[in-house]
Amino acid sequence: MKRGFYTIMAAQFFSSLADNALLIASIALLAELHGPAWMTPLLKFFFTVSYVALAPFVGAFADALPKGQVMFYTNMVKIAGCIMMFFYDWLAIPGLPGYATVLLAYALVGLGAAAYSPAKYGILTELLPARQLVVANGWIEGLTVASIILGTVLGGALISPHISAALLSLDVPIIDTGVDTPAEAAILVIGVSYLLATIFNLHIPDTGVRYERQPRNPVVLAKDFYVCLVTLWKDRLGQISLAVTTLFWGAGATLQFIVIRWAERRLDMPLDKGAVLQGVTAIGVALGAVLAARLIPLKKSLSVLPAGIVMGVVVMSMTQVTWLPLVYFLLIFIGALAGFFVVPMNALLQHRGHVLLSAGHSIAVQNFNENISILIMLALYSTMIKIDIRINAIIICFGLFVALTMLAVIKRHERNQAQEDSLQLIGMKKSDLVEHHH
């Protein structure tokens, strides 16, 4: 791997670490401000709205400047959101409760993340040849998952009674930090991780790749984006990989909150311990991602689809488990299945997107679909909590939905293959594609 790849990984790690730690700190801050229980999943909902709203524009933005510069600017937006959350009481909007500012601050972090993502993934296709994409994705996905594990565990640790008490007792000479609660202390520490990401962003190499001048008219951008969206959904390989990654991210975001509520209701665990269970699931995703990167070449990427059905079935068994060692095993296994089927799908989607569109535009289309899925599934979950559906019933519905959706995707792929062998398109370049059509 080229040296610049490791700088990208470090920047991504610290930025993602902070995003995930900040989610736990935000949940704690909402609790301190006595926000209602159904509002907790709305944090992620607000974070995700930017991905959907800005999808037509962030691809063009990522392709308009060197990717390292884009990552630097967007990370600064995340820092602004972090600062806004820390000063939530000063920045409170008149007539709205304090927790509304927390939601808006996390939405601003989401705005930065939405613009950061096409650059983060797009630079891989500029820097590396197609044959290294599955391995690179395995590394990036594994590292992102490691940052999710450590971020959620860090967030949980920072708000735990012992560590928060130690942070609150720190007396910095001359400076009045204005820190009064565990959540505020956690947010201040998390800000340091964003600063580290910024330092690495400044050292990301310029790949030298330049795209044609990007249009600035929002109507033109929206039309371009629509063409890209339709192109990827019509492609026989693109639609399968896009369907799987869309399901995965919607399910993954919802599972985060399901695990925290399940831990609280069924296992009698407070938030800082429930956050550790999130981390345990993410360990499984990392293991599955590494295994897929080692065992599944791009040509065989579609052979992993049945793992999605198994994952849905295994999720439903959570309702029968309360013994902690078995809880850990089950969550690692669920994570491993998820990581194993999503990494090859991600690589295939990037490859098809790069061949059919451009790096930035294809990632923007991917983000749009994945985040609409997150919005819909989190809105449904939030509604289920509001109308007081029991957590076991929610888990059964969730597992069934994942298994049946994956079964439908497999059937669709089989129909596609019956019409034309789309697998032969894997590994083709744009020039090959033109010849293939002629």
Interval 32-68: pLDDT, tens: 888 888 888 889 888 988 888 887 887 777 777 888 8
Residue 178, pLDDT score: 59
- Rounded distance, CA 341 to CA 345, Å? 7
Report yes or no on 149 lying in a domain: yes
The better pLDDT of the pair 194, 180 is held by 194
Predicted confidence (pLDDT) at residue 434 exceeds the cutoff of 90: no
Report yes or no on 371 lying in a domain: yes
> Rounded mean pLDDT of the chain?
84
Report yes or no on 269 lying in a domain: yes
- Rounded distance, CA 114 to CA 45, Å? 13
Most confident of 114-123, 199-208, 258-267, 419-428: 258-267
The better pLDDT of the pair 5, 408 is held by 408
Most confident of 110-124, 335-349, 401-415: 401-415
Q: What is the pTM of this model?
A: 0.78
SS3 string of 214-237? CCCCHHHHHHHHHHHHHHHHHCHH
Which of 83-97, 101-115, 246-260, 270-284 shows the lowest per-residue confidence on average (mean pLDDT)? 83-97
| Amino acid making up residue 293 | A
CB 167 within 8 A of CB 155: no
How many domains does the structure of the chain reveal?
Answer: 1
CB 291 within 8 A of CB 318: no
Hey, what are 57's tokens? Answer: 């524009």
Q: Which domain holds residue 104?
A: 3-205+216-429
Among 71, 82, 79, which Cα is nearest to 23's? 82
pLDDT tens digit sequence for 62-72? 777 888 888 99
Indicate the helix (H) or strand (E) that contains 9: helix 3-32
- Rounded distance, CA 286 to CA 335, Å? 8
pLDDT tens digit sequence for 276-297? 888 888 888 888 988 888 888 8
Average pLDDT (370-397) is: 93
Residue 433, pLDDT score: 43
Predicted confidence (pLDDT) at residue 173 exceeds the cutoff of 70: no
Predicted confidence (pLDDT) at residue 436 exceeds the cutoff of 70: no
Predicted confidence (pLDDT) at residue 391 exceeds the cutoff of 90: yes
Report yes or no on 21 lying in a domain: yes
CATH (domain of 81): 1.20.1250.20
Q: How confident is the model at residue 330 (pLDDT cuts 50, 70, 90)?
A: very high
Average pLDDT (373-382) is: 93
Predicted confidence (pLDDT) at residue 338 exceeds the cutoff of 50: yes
CB 98 within 8 A of CB 88: yes
Per DSSP, the three-state class of 242 is helix
Which residues are within 8 A (CB) of 305 and not within 5 positions of it... i.e. 6 or more apart?
240, 244, 341, 406, 409, 410, 413
The string of DSSP letters for 305-368 reads THHHHHHHHHHHGGGG---HHHHHHHHHHHHHHHHHHHHHHHHHHHHHHHHHS-HHHHHHHHHH
Among 95, 111, 92, which Cα is nearest to 48's? 111
Hey, what are 206's tokens? Answer: 């310029």
Average pLDDT (153-164) is: 90
Query: Any alpha helices (H) in 267-305, and if so which ranges?
Result: 271-295
Among 181, 227, 217, which Cα is nearest to 362's? 227
409-418 contacts, C-beta under 8 A, 24 or more apart: 409/240, 409/243, 409/244, 409/247, 409/305, 409/308, 410/305, 410/306, 410/309, 412/239, 412/240, 412/243, 413/240, 413/302, 413/305, 416/236, 416/239, 416/240
| Amino acid making up residue 157 | A
The better pLDDT of the pair 407, 206 is held by 407
How many Cα atoms sit within 13 Å of 317 on the Cβ side? Answer: 14
Predicted confidence (pLDDT) at residue 381 exceeds the cutoff of 90: yes
The better pLDDT of the pair 375, 419 is held by 375
Report yes or no on 211 lying in a domain: no
Residue 423, pLDDT score: 67
Residue 186, pLDDT score: 92
DSSP 8-state assignment for residue 94? T
Residue 417, pLDDT score: 84
The better pLDDT of the pair 117, 244 is held by 244
Predicted confidence (pLDDT) at residue 435 exceeds the cutoff of 50: no
pLDDT tens digit sequence for 117-138? 778 777 877 777 767 776 777 7
- Rounded distance, CA 242 to CA 364, Å? 12
Predicted confidence (pLDDT) at residue 98 exceeds the cutoff of 80: no
